[in-house]
Chain A
Amino acid sequence: MKKYIFALVMALTSGFAFAQEAQNPDALATVMRSNGKIYVVVAVALTVMLGLIAYLFSLDKKITKLEKDLKK
């Protein structure tokens, strides 16, 4: 499962890498401040969402482990 999560995180963050490569070093600062700083809200909401999902995955993992232990 770790493999998949890792792959997913890598896939999602790869976009940032391209964005920085293509533009000048200040690009991220400019993008984040454009459009009334709505991107900052997106970043915050996204962080919260990712945190909640990670929490769910860890809970899922714990229950799966318990199920396996009890089956033995």
Chain B
Amino acid sequence: MIPQIGWKLLATVLLIYTVIAGFLAPIPELPILYESIRNLYFHVTMWMAMMVMLIISFIASIRYLLKPTETNDLVAVESANAALVLGSLGIVTGMVWATYTWGEPWSGDPKQNGAAVGLLIYFAYIVLRGSFKDQQQRARISAVYNIFAFAVFIPLIYILPKMQDSLHPGDGGNPAFSSYDLDSRMRLVFYPAVIAWSLLAWWTAHLRIRFRKLTTLA
């Protein structure tokens, strides 16, 4: 019982910590951003947790091609589903943040555009899955698509924005995350928050996997 529930309790504790420390922990004084730098714990972490889910999905797809089991396929699709929820939340929260720091919700920033295109690629994955009647055909072809989608997503969200002028930190000529004075004080909240949101995402994905296994059994 304890090992099964252990990581869920860890997620609970870390999420509670994130909410409390996210609002109350000390932050560096930054121009333009002011208190909104606290979004680091709520906006940036959405993308971090999304990446964790996409990596899980990517690995599950590779594993499906090596060993075609129902579990591998379900892990791939449900991790991608959770990633899409997190990514959509990331886009929306980013637009709110951008309105008050960059002056407009959508400034055509390379990372914004890259993230939007990247999400569309993964929405297409879900659409692709829906277009097959045969379960094995669906699993195999969408696994191949998923691997390519991941290979395109990484340049879109990490590499291309770094090669152009971007408003996002770390891209173009902008100072990176580490020069935010992202002193240990902020790291102390940021890293646990990333773990917290990732665990929460995996928790929901895991529930959906179990639910879908039940529906095939019943």
Q: Which residues of A contact B (CB under 8 A)?
A: 1, 4, 8, 12, 38-39, 41-42, 45-46, 49-50, 53, 56-57, 59-60, 63, 66-67, 70
Contacts and interface: CB of A to CB of B under 8 A. Distances in A.
A66 B217 CA distance: 11
A12 to B, nearest CB: 7
Given A4-B9, A8-B9, A60-B8, A46 B16 contact: yes
A8 B5 contact: no
B207 A56 contact: yes
Interface in B170-218: 200, 203-204, 207, 210-211, 214, 217-218
B186 to A, nearest CB: 17
Contacts, number: 48
A1 B6 CA distance: 10
B12 A53 contact: yes
B214 A38 contact: no
Given A1-B1, A1-B5, A59-B207, A50 B16 contact: yes
A1 B5 CA distance: 8
Contact of B217 (A39, A46, A53, A70): A70
Contacts of B16: 12, 46, 49-50
A60 B205 CA distance: 11
Nearest to B18: A49
A60 to B, nearest CB: 6
Given A8-B9, A8-B13, A63-B214, 17 more contacts: A4-B5, A8-B12, A38-B24, A39-B24, A41-B23, A42-B19, A42-B20, A42-B24, A46-B16, A46-B19, A53-B15, A56-B207, A60-B203, A67-B210, A67-B214, A70-B217, A70-B218
Interface residues of B, number: 22
Nearest to B214: A66
Contacts of A60: 8, 203, 207
B5 A49 contact: no
A12 B9 CA distance: 13
B214 A70 contact: yes
A45 B15 contact: no
Contact of A45 (B8, B19, B207, B214): B19
Nearest to B20: A42
A5 B180 CA distance: 38
Nearest to B1: A1
Contacts of A67: 210, 214
Contacts of B11: 53
Closest 6 CB pairs of A and B: A42-B23, A45-B19, A63-B210, A49-B19, A46-B19, A53-B12
